[in-house]
Amino acid sequence: MSNFVNNLYKNQALFYKVFLFILTAVLIVYLLPKGGKFKYDIPKNKPWQYENLYAPFDFAILKTEEEIQEERQEIRNSLIPYYEFDTAVAERVKFDALQEVQRTFSDSILDLAERPLNNFVENTIDKIYRNGLLQESNRMQPEQLVYLRKGNEAYEVTYKKILKQGEISNFLNNEIDQANLGFFRTELLEVFFNSVEPNVVYNNDLTQKELESKLNSISYTRGIIEQGSRVIAKGEVVDNGKYNILRSLKQEYESQVWSQDNHNWILVGYSTLVALALLMLLLFIRKYRRDIFENNVKVTFIFFNIIFMVMLTTLVVKFNIDYVYVVPLCILPLTLKAFFDARLGLFTHVITVLLLGFIVPNSYEYMFLQIIAGIVTILTVSELYKRANLFISVGQITLVYIISYFAFTIIQEGSIADVEGEVFLTFLLGGLATLFVQPLIYIYEKIFGMVSDMSLLELSDTNSKLLKELAEKAPGTFHHSLNVANLAEAAANEIQANAMMVRVGALYHDIGKMQDPTYFTENQTTAVNSHDELSPRESAEIIIEHVIKGIEIAKRNNLPDRVIDFIRTHHGTSTVYYFLMKEKESSSEEVNPDDFRYPGPIPFSKETAILMMCDSVEAASKSLKEPTSVLIDDFVEKIINKQMKDGQFLNSNITFKEIQLVKKILKRKLKNIYHLRVEYPE
């Protein structure tokens, strides 16, 4: 049992990767569609290159989206609207109008013509309300039919037969003229205008229900292909009709309910392919990016990004498949390039696109466009922290999407008339969404504790709070750090290391000297040396403590761990040589060198190794009285060779050739600093 626990503890990193691998595969398989996958690509307006295809089961031929939209529009155009007719209004108006006659006409007139006037008013009101009075203006064609609903019954009338309120004045004048009552026109118009009111209103709810009922009754199919019937023969051109039949077969095949046995086999197939793709990615990282493979946080970060992109694409496809290109998939290679390198970013992008091929329609077209866009992303974005570069790259990515889609449409349709402008809009939206990569990188830095070039650029600003404090409290150390940063950056560029990371590490590597600046030579402005009153052992302790204090200051100021690594390793496990020798001279007892040794660790990357070399060389170069070209060459060789002899670079994965290149750069830079010139004969 104890052996098992020991093995588990020793191999916990490997077990974690296995767990992460299985978890990622399970999540991706869960997100994939669970139906069968149609095994044929459907080439429009091209010959069918497969064998004769026969219907494996009965299926209906689906109407195209254009046909369905035409039917919907036809229903809307032919829809008969409903109007409500209020029967109570006519009786009320008639009563009010007769009362108005009594008030409007004088008694003398009523004595002579009350009955004819009342009859005229009653008959006119009956005519007005025969088909009702409508308040609205003419909103329909005169001959269009409408349903006039009285109570629970409705009957059809033409729209023009319903009197509109805007027409009432002409109607009344005509009626008065026909009845030869023009002498009483003013009084009669006053009677009607004071009494008449609309009694017909548009019933929007009932009309919409009728519209929805008819729209829901649309058949989405036309005809059936029976099982065993030949769908298409080999070599036959896939015209619009055949394409629609094949599309219907594919949709039916992928959406039908599978038996439990078939469903399990589909899961096995999906799981195998997803596991194989993820395994290829893991093997690639293990073989070509060993440092990343050994860091579980980084492996988790890569797998998390894959799951995130698969999940985002699945949600968009389920919401509306037309927006699949709005998903900014190029964020994936951009992010991985920002934290790692272009090769890993592109490889991960290709693996993710292959997995997404199971989810999206027209998978070949989708994968082609996304892989091409990923390649353009990797090739165009050189320095992500420069905003102009990102905008230019997004523009190029969008342009590649548009050109590729345009070419695919021409191949499939044989004409540019079928190019859909809405798809170009989705490409533009996807390009704009890609700009979200910068805040996303910032979020990832906080969650996973990694550092991108954008953060390094911010940290390299000498006006930052911490570096300004260093310049004020320890100006000599600040100047030394700037010189080391310049040397280290040049050396890193020479051996293809991370120059930005080295520069930032160099700027902050000595921040621990801020607390006791006068104990370090570069900050001593007077002839008084603070170490004169201390023993060599005490002096060494103060010098060594600047590493520990630097780490504490860095953590208080939330510097990234990768920057703190430079503080921790820039002296490795070397000794404070000057005070060690001084102690040996003044002490009669044997001196233990470990008492004068930095705590380490030794550098564990090319970048930290470069900083150690540059720091030692730059600091020691101040002791050169009359530097010459030969003296500088010997000086650099002596310092770096001693570090190699002490085993300071054993864990840094730096080669002898690269160390020689660093030496070459340091010699050239120091000669430039000291302005050495070739001596010409007089």
Q: Which residues contact 225 (CB under 8 A, 6 or more apart)?
A: 55, 58, 59, 60, 61, 231, 245, 248, 249
Tracing tokens 């440092």 back to the chain, one arrives at: 291
Instruction: Pick from 28-32, 357-361, 432-436, 525-529 the range whose average pLDDT is largest.
Output: 28-32
Query: By percentage, how much of the chain surpasses pLDDT 70?
Result: 91
**Tens of pLDDT, residues 377-399:** 888 766 655 666 777 778 888 88
pLDDT number for residue 285: 92
Within 10 angstroms of residue 57's Cβ, the number of other Cβ atoms is 12
pLDDT at 317: 85
pLDDT of residue 38: 67
pLDDT at 492: 92
Burial per residue of 508-528, b for 16 or more beta-carbon CB atoms within 10 angstroms, e otherwise: bbbbbbbbbbbbbebbeeeee
For residue 83, the cross-strand partners are: 148, 202
Please provide residue 326's backbone torsions phi and psi, each rounded to the nearest 5 degrees: -75, -25
Most confident of 139-143, 284-288, 584-588: 284-288
Average pLDDT in the 278-307 region?
Answer: 91
Point out the least confidently predicted range of 134-148, 408-422, 566-580. Answer: 408-422
575 contact partners, CB below 8 Å, separation of at least 6: 593, 596, 597, 598
Q: What is the mean pLDDT of residues 517-537?
A: 77
Confidence of residue 406 (pLDDT cuts 50, 70, 90): confident
CB atoms within 10 A of CB 255: 10
Evaluate if residue 178 carries a pLDDT over 60. yes
- Does 445 or 49 have the greater pLDDT score? 445
Residue 474 has pLDDT above 70, yes or no: yes
Beta strand 82-85 with 145-150 is parallel
| pLDDT higher at 222 or 668 | 668
**Chain segment 616-642, per-residue pLDDT in tens:** 998 888 877 777 888 888 889 999 999
Average pLDDT value over all residues in the chain:
83
Give yes or no for residue 650 having a pLDDT over 50: yes
Alpha-carbon span 233 to 388, nearest angstrom: 54
Q: Helix or strand or coil: residue 448?
A: helix
pLDDT value, residue 36: 59
Statement: residue 83 has pLDDT above 80: yes
Tell me which amino acid residue 612 is: M
pLDDT band at residue 300 using 50, 70 and 90 as cut-offs: very high
Residues 164, 138 contacting (CB under 8 angstroms): yes
The mean pLDDT of 346-353, rounded to a whole number, is 94
Total number of residues shown for the chain: 682
Question: Whole-angstrom Cα distance, residue 648 to residue 600?
Answer: 10
Give the C-alpha separation, 223 to 230, whole Å. Answer: 15
Which of 146-150, 217-221, 613-617 is predicted with the least confidence, judged by mean pLDDT? 217-221
DSSP letter string over 470-525? HHHH-HHHHHHHHHHHHHHHHHHHHTT--HHHHHHHHHHTTGGGGSSGGGSGGG--
Which one of 17-21, 188-192, 450-454, 526-530 scores highest in mean pLDDT? 17-21
Q: What is the DSSP string of 603-669?
A: --SHHHHHHHHHHHHHHHHTT-SS--HHHHHHHHHHHHHHHHHTTTTTTTT--HHHHHHHHHHHHHH
Distance CA 600, CA 586 (A): 27
Pairwise CA distance, residues 523 & 519, whole Å: 8
Q: Does residue 411 sit in helix, strand or coil?
A: helix
Tens-place pLDDT, residues 214-264: 888 888 887 787 777 887 888 787 777 788 877 877 777 766 655 555 667
**Which tokens go with 661?**
């290149």
Cα 629 to Cα 606: distance, rounded to the nearest angstrom = 27
List the helix and strand counts (H, then E) for the chain.
Answer: 28, 10
pLDDT at 680 (0 to 100): 46
Spatial separation of the C-alpha atoms in residues 468 and 511, rounded to whole Å: 11
At residue 86, the pLDDT reads 87
DSSP 8-class letter at 35:
S
**Which pLDDT value is given to residue 580?**
77
Q: Which of 227-231, 443-447, 547-551 has the lowest mean pLDDT?
A: 227-231
State both tokens at 337. 């390039």
Q: Residue 568's pLDDT is what?
A: 92
Does position 374 have pLDDT exceeding 60, yes or no? yes
Q: What is the arithmetic mean of pLDDT over 324-330?
A: 87
- Is the pLDDT at 679 greater than 70? The verdict is no
Q: Do 171 and 163 touch, CB atoms closer than 8 A?
A: yes
The helix (run of H) or strand (run of E) holding residue 232 is strand 230-232
DSSP classification of residue 327: S
Q: What is residue 661's predicted lDDT score, i.e. its pLDDT?
A: 93
Q: What is each CA distance from 479 to 288, 365, 493, 554, 589, in whole angstroms?
A: 39, 57, 22, 19, 39
